[in-house]
Structure 1
Amino acid sequence: MADLIVGLDSWIVQDGNYGDFVQATKVSFALEFCPVITLPGSGPHDRKAPSITHRFDSSYDIVAQVVHAHDDWWVLDAGLLMYCDGKPPDNARLGAWLGGLVFIGVDPFFYFESHAHLPGAPAMVYDWKIEKIEVETGPFIETKPKHFERDPEKRGWKEVARTDAWHDDGGYLLHCTRLDGPRLPKSRSHP
């Protein structure tokens, strides 16, 4: 898999883990995934070949093998290595094949600051070229007292030349082409 649309929340840049991302530049980061739903048969999976199929935004149907499972994080190989922070589910045993819908995003800091430095941690930093950047444009609406979410009726994306995490109030989609990797982070503080 050479091309991927990766999610990026503004807070990741605001925390100082990365600078703003700029179109047509090279960047390095690991991939974090968050399970959205589990597909039928997700527990040994019938199809034992890694795959990533784009569905919408930065969400993908994946078939992947568990290649690392630790107490508080785990790694899947879906053709690209990606990790999930938190306790793995019971069916995420080393070597198991799983499938499901996942959100794929830029590693906020869990991998390059912590997980990568643990014994047996797989190399997961990839070099990417940012081909295109989109910012979410839908307005926020109050769904419960003091709880705001994007209006699902007015969701949209607008292409921008760079992120502006300190002024934009939403998320981004980074359209990336993989250049190299995986490798371990170059330093403890930044990939």
Structure 2
Amino acid sequence: MTWAPASPHEVARLFSRVAAPWWIAGGYAIELAVGRPFRRHGDIDVLLLRRDQLAVQEALPTWEWWAADPPGTLRPWARGELLPVGVDDVWCRPSAGSPWRIQVMLDETQGDEWVSRRNPAVRRPIGELGVVSPDGLPYLAPEVQVFAKAHRTRPKDEQDFAAVLPVLGEAQRRWLAEALDDAHPWQAACRAPS
């Protein structure tokens, strides 16, 4: 499955038509928080709230959308189909012959709060879920993105954590330390003086 990830600026151009909040996520969100690129990316993630999932189909009606049914089987996402909880990732591309360009991740909400898929006790007001870069790119708040990466850490997640920890403010570190499991090794680093 070939990927030719869209750049964050291309995502912003394409998603400018999405009539719902969205945020660049994954490693690119960490780089936007740090203020510089520091590693290669195999894809680009965009976070969308599950309640707004059809907004991307409406904004990019000619694109192909494929849902990743657990445990990871891709299937066409039919126009107007509401994906159930548990189907959290959607791959998209401009046409059948094109490489994959964007991965859309769906997250849960309750009222005006974002609810973590990993731990429903971890919540945040939707209005505090994202940040906007100096050049206008909306991205997932770095502490929220690091929390998502803490689930099953890979070398690139460790690299992202090490890069972003110095730029997290005291409130961001506190939120992350409280959200992480007590046994997670990143928790102590969040609680250490900055």
Fold match, TM over 0.5?
A: no
Pick 1 or 2: higher relative contact order, CA cutoff 8 A, min separation 6.
1
> Taking structure 1 as the reference length, what is the TM-score of the superposition?
0.28
Higher strand share goes to which structure? 1
Higher helix share goes to which structure? 2
> Taking structure 2 as the reference length, what is the TM-score of the superposition?
0.28
